[in-house]
Structure 1
Amino acid sequence: MSFAERNKSSPLVLPPPQPNLNENLGSLDLPVYSHADLLAARDEDQYEHGPRILVGLKDYVFDVTPLMGFLIPGGQLSNYAGKDISFALTKASNRREDTTVKGYGTLSSNELKMLDEWTSVFLRRFTVVGRLEMDTMTTEY
């Protein structure tokens, strides 16, 4: 049984919080990823320990490789891999049309608060590897 098959029906479990994971974030000189860079890094890039999966959320690019079983083709969240998930995550959607929206310019004030909460969760659980080139205008890939 492949890794994808083993993890396809498992419930989504986030890694435990790690309060100091991105402690010096403000002082780091992080690379800037465009939406095209993020998509190109989808799951084809091989790194020391295998493929690395990146997603954009608000202003950051996160390494979400611990969720690989959900993000690889056939996984529950495969539409999220290599994309800016700000809009879709805030809408609690995995629909293709919501995962192709870049930015968060059309979100309501309540949705923006939810986006901040999700960003806080990701900052405690995943490593920031870059900054997302922000285009808060909503456009599609």
Structure 2
Amino acid sequence: MAIFYWIALLMTAIDQVTKLIVRLNMNVGDTRSFREGILQFTYYQNSGAAHSSLQGYGRALGLLCAAFIVIVMYYRSKQASNRRWMDVGLAFLVAGAAGNGVERLLFGKVTDFLQFGSGQGIMNIADLCINVGLLVVVVQQIVLAKRTREKPSY
């Protein structure tokens, strides 16, 4: 149970600190290479969702993030406490929603700055958390489904 809160709080904090560092040290549109061709920091402000869809709906998306967090907390309260990997996945999802949700509610947009490879989308730590969370939850569900099928029924 505690692992959920530690991951969610730590990753939300890391997300917020990295975004603050970018906002304080770069101008929108600036690019700095870290590993040529692998990773560069490009400061972008996204008032929409993934891949710059839904531009201008930042605050509404912030409300969706808050609703998602409430739903996850409710879901967790109704589940068995022995689902460690599900908690890990949900913690990353909540961290991603919280990290981007805070900025959307405060500023109407999120700070994106991580660009992997050339021509790829720009993201932030919260976006990475969402990807990790989804991966963990999907793998957990596949493992549970496989275990359920392999149990002999008497």
Question: Which TM bucket (shorter chain)?
Answer: under 0.3
TM-score (norm 1): 0.27
More helix by share: 2
Larger radius of gyration: 2
